[in-house]
Amino acid sequence: MPPELPPTEIHDEPYSTTCACGCQMRHIGKDVVETLDYTPGHFTVERHIRDKWACDSCETLVQAPVPAHIIDKGIPTAGLLVQVLVARYQDLLPLYRQEGIFSRAGLAIPQSPLAQWVGQSGVHLQPLVDAPKTGVLAHPVLHADAPGGDARPGCGQDAPRLPVVLRRRGVRSDQGGGIRLRRQPRRPSRPGIPG
């Protein structure tokens, strides 16, 4: 990590420093892990310090568990990953531009690690993508209204909307499933029944 970024030290201690045999453990060392965080406009370093405690009589070693990370043994925190993903997909900011922005903020992160972070985050987010798809495909028919008016030239927002029907037709599970979109014209209103 660059020395000009002041770290925020976070001490992670075990629940108890008393051994199961009843003896008080002594401090024998510590592990230090540094992660990189991003607050809009500047980077910060989180330094996690995990002290090691050992029992002299039964030679038991105790240490706090490693804090959970989205990318195992990686330096980005969840805040930095969120910043990269939101800038990439919500703000449509390519990774090479983010590289330049991060460089001006004080830390040059090349495109290749940024791309790896995006890919690994995508793997972790895949269940959130699959959950709605599974719910939609569980139903034989789903009716929805098109979000806008008719897309033909000359038709404004007052034009009648065309319903969209999502149907699952004879798709086997080994084929991967799918959603077919089919436009259906709106039925003409019958006399006495509002259309």
N residues, the chain: 195
Host H or E run for residue 29: strand 26-39
Q: What pLDDT is attached to residue 14?
A: 87
Q: What pLDDT is attached to residue 145?
A: 56
- Final residue belonging to a domain, choices 43, 67, 91: 67
- Final residue belonging to a domain, choices 110, 136, 162: 136
Q: What pLDDT is attached to residue 15?
A: 83
Distance CA 187, CA 134 (A): 30
Domain that holds residue 122: 78-136
Question: Is the residue at 193 inside a domain?
Answer: no
Q: Is the Cβ–Cβ distance between 95 and 113 less than 8 Å?
A: no
Q: Mean of the per-residue pLDDT values for the chain?
A: 79
Distance CA 11, CA 24 (A): 20
User: For 105, how many CA atoms within 13 A lie in the half-sphere containing its CB?
Assistant: 16
| Residue keyed to tokens 């495109």 | 111
Coil vs helix vs strand at 188: coil
Distance CA 19, CA 51 (A): 15
Residues in the chain, pLDDT under 50: 162-167, 171-173, 175-184, 195
Q: What pLDDT is attached to residue 107?
A: 87
Q: What pLDDT is attached to residue 97?
A: 95
Question: Is the residue at 60 inside a domain?
Answer: yes
Question: Is the residue at 150 inside a domain?
Answer: no
Q: Cα dihedral sign for 69, 74, 80, 86? A: negative
Q: Which among 129, 41, 116 has a CA at the least distance from the CA of 85?
A: 116
What's the total number of domains in the chain? Answer: 2
- Final residue belonging to a domain, choices 120, 136, 152: 136
Q: What pLDDT is attached to residue 98?
A: 94
Distance CA 18, CA 54 (A): 9
